[in-house]
Structure 1
Amino acid sequence: MVRLYTKGLHIGYGERLIVKNLNVEIPDRKITTIIGANGSGKSTLLKAITRIVPQQSGTVVLDGKDILKENTKILAQKMAILPQTPESASGLTVGELVSYGRFPYQKGLGRLTKKDIEVIDWALEVTGTSDFKYRSVDSLSGGQRQRGWIAMALAQETEIIFLDEPTTYLDMAHQLEVLELLQKLNIEQERTIVMVLHDLNQAARFADYMIALKDGQIVKAGDCEEVMTHDVLRKVFQIDAHIGRDPRTNKPMCITYNLLKGDNQNEKMAIPLSSIGAYR
């Protein structure tokens, strides 16, 4: 089932076109990961789908409606986005931060209702941040802070959650903590999760569906077996990858690779695996 898709999407900044004639479908109740080199249009695509940046042409359709014609609060009840660098929450407690997720449901003076408080407490509990409710966001570790932001997105009670590089700046343990939380939300609550990830092996490990972008266009979209291949990674990243199997999940993973360079891409230079995302 597909509730969300784009048709002929063109997105740009000024005269520079970032995403070109993009037609993409987001599978419902699945985890979709988007991969691609820097500047390939990954973040721009997320921002356009969630109406943060306008498209130059084309359409984003959710539940049969053009999102540009949808009421802002109604749209915010369907989709939540956690950007790569969330706005500063300086001075806020975790509980106050999470309460911002209730904005789409507030009326009048915007006071929290009993239902709002129940949802906030639920979001804190699900993300394991209840103990931090009255603590300053500034006092938390990177992983704890990221879980707080995810709790805010959950408090928005949307069925679709977008995350732009949710593991950036986190150590290996906290990266895994955040990704396992998102996987749990998908499995237990059937949330549709769409996230941009730089770590290819994490992207494959946690995804049901992958989208590989290059220069604002889709090189390949499908399950992990279709996208995590030697040919696709060569086209997207200009690397000569050796693909193996994750011993825990049996999903494809990049074991090692060489960088291809030169006009004919015949020259190769070894690159440490850690720079593209080692197995977690």
Structure 2
Amino acid sequence: MVRLYTEDLQISYDDRLIVKGISVQIPDQKVTAIIGANGCGKSTFLKAVTRLIPHQAGKVVLDGGNIAKQNTKKLAQKMAILPQTQEAASGLTVGELVSYGRFPYQNAMGRLTTHDTEVIDWALKVTNTSEYKYRQVDALSGGQRQRVWIAMALAQETDIIFLDEPTTYLDMAHQLEVLELLQKLNIEQQRTIVMVLHDLNQAARFADFIVAMKDGEIIRAGICEEVIQPDILRQVFRIDAEIGIDPRTGKPLCITYDLHKGDNRK
């Protein structure tokens, strides 16, 4: 059974069509990466699937129901979203920020229960951020902050987690740290992870399923061996890529590339 899919999804900003009739099934309990050039509609698609922005046509279906008609709190108990630019957490401690993940479960009084506290501590432990619980979020490094935001998403106790470019502005070690954490959550807890990534080799290494987009449409969706191919990358990124095999993972590896100077439609 596929829990999450879209049918002919269309999204517009003003009179400009950004996402053009996308139909795709998101594999359950797998890691999905969405790739494509800047401005192709990746983030817009992600926001519409998580109901952060409305769509103009088509539908997003989760557990058999159109998300546009689902209760907001109930939906927030099924999916969490970590946007590309997080809202300011100025003055908040790490523990306070992570506690916001419990909002979908709180009653009108808004008080944390014993279970809420246990989940918050668990999320901090899983992301290796327990030692920062009483520190200001502002005082943390980029990699530490990103793990704290992921802890907040985990505290939401959802089966599906969406992340928009979770490695942006991080150095190589912190990028790897974040991606390995997400992979661990998928393998050990069967969380469905859907994320926008810019790095092709990171997508190939960590994703089970890749969606390649161009100009608001899907060029190819499938396992990494089907998507990380020279002809697909030529269409999506306008590059002529040399693809090899990663000796450590056995996954496709973009060894080098040049700008494609021919007809980009081929």
1:24 and 2:24 correspond? yes
Counterpart residue type for residue 159 of structure 2: E
What's the TM-score, normalizing by structure 1?
A: 0.93
Q: SS of 1:28's equivalent?
A: coil
Summarize deviations over 1:72-102 as a string: whole Å, max 9, x none.
0000000000000111111000000000000
Deviation at 1:261, TM superposition (A): 3.2
1:209 and 2:209 correspond? yes
Preserved contact between residue 235 and residue 264 of structure 2 (Cα < 8 Å): no
Summarize deviations over 1:200-223 as a string: whole Å, max 9, x none.
000000000000000111100000
Counterpart residue type for residue 94 of structure 2: V
Partner of residue 241, structure 2? 241
Summarize deviations over 1:244-279 as a string: whole Å, max 9, x none.
0111101001000110136579xxxxxxxxxxxxxx
Deviation at 1:167, TM superposition (A): 0.2
Counterpart residue type for residue 22 of structure 1: I
**What CA RMSD, in Å, does the superposition of the two structures yield over aligned residues?**
1.0
1:64 and 2:67 correspond? no
Q: SS of 1:107's equivalent?
A: coil
Deviation at 1:108, TM superposition (A): 1.5
Correspondence list, 1:5-24, <5 A: 5-24=5-24
- Structure 2: runs of 5 or more not aligned: none
In 2: Cα distance, 1:260 partner to 1:250 partner: 27
Partner of residue 36, structure 2? 36
In 2: Cα distance, 1:135 partner to 1:141 partner: 12
Partner of residue 193, structure 2? 193
- Structure 1 runs of 4+ aligned residues shifted over 2 Å read 261-265
Task: Work out the number of aligned pairs and report it.
Answer: 265
What's the TM-score, normalizing by structure 2?
A: 0.98
Q: SS of 1:2's equivalent?
A: coil
Q: SS of 2:20's equivalent?
A: strand
Partner of residue 275, structure 1? none
Preserved contact between residue 34 and residue 213 of structure 2 (Cα < 8 Å): yes
Partner of residue 156, structure 1? 156
Partner of residue 181, structure 1? 181
In 2: Cα distance, 1:17 partner to 1:101 partner: 33
Q: SS of 1:24's equivalent?
A: strand
Partner of residue 50, structure 2? 50
Partner of residue 131, structure 1? 131
- Structure 1: runs of 5 or more not aligned: 266-280
1:252 and 2:252 correspond? yes
Q: Residue 239 and residue 93 in structure 1: after superposition, are their counterparts in 2 closer, same or farther (change >3 A)?
A: same
